[in-house]
Structure 1
Amino acid sequence: MIIKRKVNKEVYMYSIGIDIGTTNCKLCVFELLSLKLIDSYSFATPKINSKYGYDFDIEALYSQLEQGLIQTINSLSYAEKVKNIVIASVGESGVLINQEGEVVGPCITWYDTRTQKNLADINQKFSDEELYSITGIPIHSNYSLTKILWIRENCNINLQQVKWLCIAEYIAYKLTNQKRAECSLASRTLAYDLKNHCWSEKIQSAFAINHLFADFTQSGKNIEVLTSTISTKLNCNQPIFVAIGGHDHMCGSIAAELKPGEILNSTGTTEGLLLLLEKVNFNKSFLTSQLSFGKYVKDDLYTLYASLPSAGYSIEWFKRTFSVTDENFDLLIESLLNKLDDINYIKNSLNIFIPHLRGSGPPKRNIDSKGLWYGLGENSTLADILLSIFQGLCFELKNTLITIEQLTVTHHPIIKVIGAAAKNPLWLQLKADILGREILSCNIKEAVCKGGVMLAGYENHYLDKNAHIQFDNPIARYIPNPKMTEYYHQIFADYYQPFFEFKTSLEFKLKKDN
């Protein structure tokens, strides 16, 4: 027995993945080489509702994360076998830090709308086409550059004396005292030269931010060991390295073993469609459809990414608005699952919901877009409303998928799904029926954290790149019901698309009039 424990102590290593999300922050310990989830710690992402809008409470966030690290590492049987910590986060949001390492100004959430007025500042210096040809992303108030300009304007900050770090990069800085940038996050700033893999000199000069951005590190590559201060707090005698995994959806795709030619539906507070590409197409048609290119976290690949901002958030909204507990929500899901093939029920409960609760995504991206609901009646039940929310999310996804496949001249008969939807059989079957595609549910426990750990494992030679990973849960396949797919195709053409176009034109007119 003593010998066995000695062997385990020598063989087992641990890697810790951190996922800074919009709604929750997660810290997960995985065993190397098995990638088995050993322990986890999570907390609600702290936010501040200021007079200007919504900010991440970055100091409270780091404080809770540090407490999570202390608690988690101290609970491990072999804490001295923790090899590294790898961090992934939402894109777009970040902080300015001064020469003393202090945060100056707010950490504006990616979805906050206050920065819309800064779009005019950008368009004075660059046309949409010119900026897209450099960065691969359309001008939008979500991206980091608009937040930087807003903070400079409203907080009286000299940008020559500070550094910008995206959230994952800031957490890495707090742990190592090293300022580093990572490419998948950089390509969401609106200041990254996607063709030349560097910060754009032209954009930096135009806005006098030449010294603002940090030097790059390879995604997942260990940067430095924990500072002595952090190590003391963790009661660690051995060195623990820190790496930046990158954008959360991109890290999640690693866990799903996404390959070029495949398409990933990553779900959470937002919902995205992700493709991996060997080269970028800067054709104007991609800009017109508001599709974003970016740098992938490995293999010198690029990403084509479309984000729908109100996916999981629509479900949160439903629970909050109608005071639905988690237990009652699960009961509603179970009751609806039994009705998905009942064409009469589906027809009689028809509602059209366009889920623009936080604006819209491609192909008609508009941060001011509002939701639309048609079909509510005096006999509408909670189950009817919930069904229409899931149907609306699937119709919205279909609209974006059609756009992507038309522009890339591809067809994806199978769609991989990770995140919240991968645990929801109702949502998965509706995806299959409405999209008319086979849905492959990769129900991976903490996919973002796991993907980050895998990425860091490959980059630092803890893991074999050629080894096939084992999923914690069996992969489930959802096959479309031809009868329901035909019905939903008709509903999409006769109801969803006309309502979508009407709403889009009306909002465009309202914006023009104002």
Structure 2
Amino acid sequence: MYSIGIDIGTTNCKICIFELPALNLITSYSFVTPKHTSQYGDDFDVIALYTQLEQGLINLITQLKHADRIKNIVIASVGESGVLIDQDQHVVGPAITWYDTRTKVNLAQVSKQFSQDEIYAITGIPIHSNYSLTKILWLKDNYQIDLTRVKWLCMAEFIAYRLSGEQRAELSLASRTLVLDLKRHQWSEKIQTAFGLNQVFVKFAQSGRNFATLNRDLAAKLGAIGQIEVAIGGHDHMCGSIAAGLKEREILNSTGTTEGLLLLMKDANFSQPFLRANLSNGVYVFDDLNTLYTSLPAAGYCIEWFKKTFAVDNQLFISLLDELTSKLIDIEYIKSHQSVFIPHLRGSGPPQRNIAAQALWYGFNENTRKQDALLTLFQGLCFELRNTLESVEQLTESYHPIIKVIGAASKNPLWLQLKADILGREILSCNIPEAVCKGAVMLAAKQNGYIEQLDCYDGEIDTQSYKPNQQLKQHYDQIYQHYYKPIFDLKMKIELCDKEGRLNER
């Protein structure tokens, strides 16, 4: 039998067909996530996205031998972003990308009704413009939407709805809305009432559990292949962690357009220190666990920015990576090409979160070459990750000698070795093709009884270990303490003063 995983990402969307129970990847299809820029900012083009997705499904399924053995389709996606659907089943207004900052104007509405402490005590996440609540308020204000006549669906939920005709929410995605009562696993009546959202949110389906079948129109296009069920896997980083075999108290570095650190916990943390560090709690997709999640807004995006800014095509990029990787054993080269990059191209992440933060590069001179700039970029991503990791470990009173890595970084030896050297930990690269799709399929297979257990697949994960070069570790420790941290702290202080100054002027 087969199961289909769908990953709706910031940069790319993917469809993967896996054979069960072996979880072999049979075939896949991907396309660039359609987006467009309006006068307001960046939006997902969800109509074009679904059109391409549906056509991809049709092509893959109709070409598959024994397509009648397909059991279900399960969808994972980015968090925060979504759409409003009216009573005629039409999308109302744009689907704002998770990183778009136009919704910062709505933060005052949220802060007027709730303090940071109050919101954190309910939702487990700090007030921020990325979350769904501010997007809904912005859409209401700018499109004169009657919130009693629309429903909100996060991206994976929207795709599931288009495939099945049934509207359901999912808890790991709801954790990124700023409206979920995290302790009760239900929509917060207090927050809904404060903003007139009592009819906006739909009831929940269990993560990975089939709740509907393909709609008639799509089923007709596929021909007589039997009944295909539909499930929502949830947040992409959470689904990817299943493929990596993440266990409670382990830590996962999930890399893509963003870069996240994910821990699985029995209990959420609502205390003041966690709030001050801007750490986000959530519901995991499995085993009644909670998540502690931190996200750095620009990781893979920094790489794309570098390629665009310095006119580096894929072939040259690979050549630069190979050249730099070979130089990591040359201590003198590393020491003589040291500069500091703070990668706040899309604002800063925890522990000092600021959507207005700007990137900073120290150490350019007339002799700086593209490969020098690329080395500095990857070092900067690793220093930023170290800063966040140390904050997480201090608060959770934990230490993780091994860090699992999935996503884009798992295929990048330069990035992986620099993580080991700068973080001073063993980096375990999990080479999992289409980890998000695979994790979503594994989740749905377990939840629907297609397989009995998940841990039997742990030994099949293709991993490679990267351990710190002790000489480089000592060098990077000094750079981190004497350059990165002071420059980071000064930059954040200047930006905070600038932000407060602008606020006072208003």
User: Normalising to structure 1: TM-score of the pair?
Assistant: 0.97
Residue 137 of structure 1 corresponds to 125
Match of residue 117, structure 1, among 81, 105, 113: 105
CA–CA distance in structure 2, aligned partners of residues 403 and 314 of structure 1: 23
CA–CA distance in structure 1, aligned partners of residues 32 and 460 of structure 2: 24
Provide the secondary structure at the position in 1 that maps to 2:327: coil
Residue 343 of structure 1, CA deviation? 1.4
Match of residue 192, structure 2, among 187, 192, 204: 204
Give deviations 1:207-237, integer Å, cap 9, x for gaps: 1110110000100000111011110112243
Residue 90 of structure 1 corresponds to 78
CA–CA distance in structure 1, aligned partners of residues 224 and 444 of structure 2: 21
CA–CA distance in structure 1, aligned partners of residues 216 and 188 of structure 2: 35
Residue 249 of structure 1, CA deviation? 0.2
1:140 is aligned with what amino acid? Answer: H
Provide the secondary structure at the position in 1 that maps to 2:211: strand
Residue 283 of structure 1 corresponds to 271
Match of residue 377, structure 1, among 365, 382, 387: 365
CA–CA distance in structure 2, aligned partners of residues 69 and 236 of structure 1: 15
Residue 452 of structure 1 corresponds to 440
Matched, 1:60 2:48: yes
8 Å contact kept, 1:172–1:178: yes
Residue 162 of structure 2 corresponds to 174
1:344/1:180 CA distance change after superposition, 3 Å: same
Give deviations 1:132-171, integer Å, cap 9, x for gaps: 0000000000000000000000000000011000010000
Give deviations 1:459-478, integer Å, cap 9, x for gaps: 00111215521677731000
8 Å contact kept, 1:14–1:31: yes
Residue 502 of structure 1, CA deviation? 0.6
CA–CA distance in structure 2, aligned partners of residues 235 and 332 of structure 1: 48
8 Å contact kept, 1:36–1:472: no
8 Å contact kept, 1:219–1:246: yes
CA–CA distance in structure 2, aligned partners of residues 470 and 483 of structure 1: 33
Match of residue 469, structure 1, among 457, 467, 477: 457
CA–CA distance in structure 2, aligned partners of residues 353 and 459 of structure 1: 44
Residue 50 of structure 1 corresponds to 38
Residue 393 of structure 2 corresponds to 405
Residue 487 of structure 1 corresponds to 475
CA–CA distance in structure 1, aligned partners of residues 187 and 132 of structure 2: 13
Provide the secondary structure at the position in 1 that maps to 2:226: coil
8 Å contact kept, 1:164–1:212: yes
8 Å contact kept, 2:253–2:406: yes
Residue 509 of structure 1, CA deviation? 1.1
1:97 is aligned with what amino acid? Answer: I
Aligned counterparts, 1:308-457, within 5 A:
308-457=296-445
Residue 115 of structure 1, CA deviation? 0.3
Residue 253 of structure 1 corresponds to 241
Matched, 1:219 2:212: no
8 Å contact kept, 2:442–2:454: no
1:19 is aligned with what amino acid? Answer: D
C-alpha RMSD of matched pairs (Å): 0.9
1:338 is aligned with what amino acid? Answer: S
CA–CA distance in structure 2, aligned partners of residues 360 and 251 of structure 1: 24
Structure 2 unpaired stretches of 5+: none
CA–CA distance in structure 2, aligned partners of residues 42 and 20 of structure 1: 10
CA–CA distance in structure 2, aligned partners of residues 317 and 467 of structure 1: 38
8 Å contact kept, 1:445–1:472: no
1:489/1:258 CA distance change after superposition, 3 Å: same
1:135 is aligned with what amino acid? Answer: T
Residue 30 of structure 1 corresponds to 18
Provide the secondary structure at the position in 2 that maps to 1:218: coil
Residue 274 of structure 1, CA deviation? 0.2
Residue 264 of structure 1, CA deviation? 0.1
Match of residue 57, structure 2, among 69, 73, 91: 69
Structure 1 unpaired stretches of 5+: 1-12
Provide the secondary structure at the position in 1 that maps to 2:457: coil
8 Å contact kept, 1:353–1:391: yes
Q: Which runs of 4+ in 1 moved over 4 A?
A: 470-473
Residue 337 of structure 1, CA deviation? 0.9
8 Å contact kept, 1:261–1:275: yes
1:174/1:471 CA distance change after superposition, 3 Å: farther
CA–CA distance in structure 1, aligned partners of residues 446 and 484 of structure 2: 44
8 Å contact kept, 1:56–1:108: yes
Give deviations 1:328-373, integer Å, cap 9, x for gaps: 1111111111111211111111110000001110001011101000
Provide the secondary structure at the position in 2 that maps to 1:416: strand
1:492 is aligned with what amino acid? Answer: Y
2:43 is aligned with what amino acid? Answer: D
Residue 497 of structure 2 corresponds to 509
Deviates more, 1:226-235 or 1:429-438: 226-235
2:498 is aligned with what amino acid? Answer: L
Matched, 1:263 2:284: no
